[in-house]
A = this chain, B = another copy of it.
């Protein structure tokens, strides 16, 4: 079973280098979140260096939130380099579906590279699928069932793991599926909550070869930290929530984690 406590410990002990090619909105928050986790973030975008950087990283994150043609080229170069070294590559298809450019860019990365994990919300994942079932989130039981189908078919279609996050997180390789029920609504009130989760999941994956379990553990760890952050607020509101979230990623205890973790393995 996915073990968030053990994997967090491994990250703290080894400080894996996580190479992010990400969007300009979330760069600082992502770097601080990875530091709080105990990983070593590096942001490097230049075509001249991304191959070298990806080679020495524990995982590579490609986030298309503010994509440009240049960044696109850098992502492909970094991705090929990571693939050659057997380093896991995570794709965050921010806004896939919003414009043709985003959808096509995400699909090109999926076609050209060996992507280990796609992490996105229900809409983004559905837009990468040739036969989406659900488009409306995962709030009701029926919606969860449809979302699960879309996540599973997308995973099979692209031969990858899909991590579809929402009120419940669905992590699947198309055959085995985990559901994580941790988290808080506050995560929807700040920018970059999903993007940071992608990078956190990449860090977990850098210390655990079973990517399905690593990503599931990351979702539970992140959701539990967010719950603790939301409870700890002296002043409530999205400004303080961000600050508390970084604190709790650093400080949540093993006991607190243990009590909060809600991971469910679906029967096959």
Interface residues of A (CB under 8 A from B): 23-29, 31-32, 35-36, 41-46, 48-49, 52-53, 56, 65-70, 95, 98-102, 189-192, 232, 234-240, 242-248, 250-251
When distances are taken between beta carbons in the complex, the residues of chain B under 8 Å from A192 are 28, 31
**Is there contact, CB below 8 Å, between B45 and A66?**
yes
**Is there contact, CB below 8 Å, between A42 and B98?**
yes
**Cα of A48 to Cα of B35 in the assembled complex, Å:** 34
When distances are taken between beta carbons in the complex, the residues of chain B under 8 Å from A244 are 235, 237, 239
**Cα of A243 to Cα of B101 in the assembled complex, Å:** 34
**Is there contact, CB below 8 Å, between A239 and B99?**
no
**Is there contact, CB below 8 Å, between A23 and B48?**
no
User: A42-B95, A52-B101, A68-B45 are contacts. A189–B238 as well, Cβ < 8 Å?
Assistant: no
Closest CB in chain B relative to A183 CB, distance in Å: 17
Q: How many copies does the complex hold?
A: 3
7 residue pairs of the A-B complex, CB under 8 angstroms, read: A23-B43, A25-B27, A35-B189, A35-B190, A46-B67, A68-B70, A235-B244
**Is there contact, CB below 8 Å, between A31 and B35?**
no
When distances are taken between beta carbons in the complex, the residues of chain B under 8 Å from A27 are 24-25, 28
**Cα of A244 to Cα of B238 in the assembled complex, Å:** 9
When distances are taken between beta carbons in the complex, the residues of chain B under 8 Å from A48 are 69, 101
**Is there contact, CB below 8 Å, between A238 and B35?**
yes
When distances are taken between beta carbons in the complex, the residues of chain B under 8 Å from A239 are 32, 36, 242-247, 250
**Cα of A18 to Cα of B36 in the assembled complex, Å:** 30
**Is there contact, CB below 8 Å, between A32 and B190?**
yes
**Is there contact, CB below 8 Å, between A240 and B243?**
yes
**Cα of A65 to Cα of B243 in the assembled complex, Å:** 24
Residue of B nearest to A252 (CB): B237
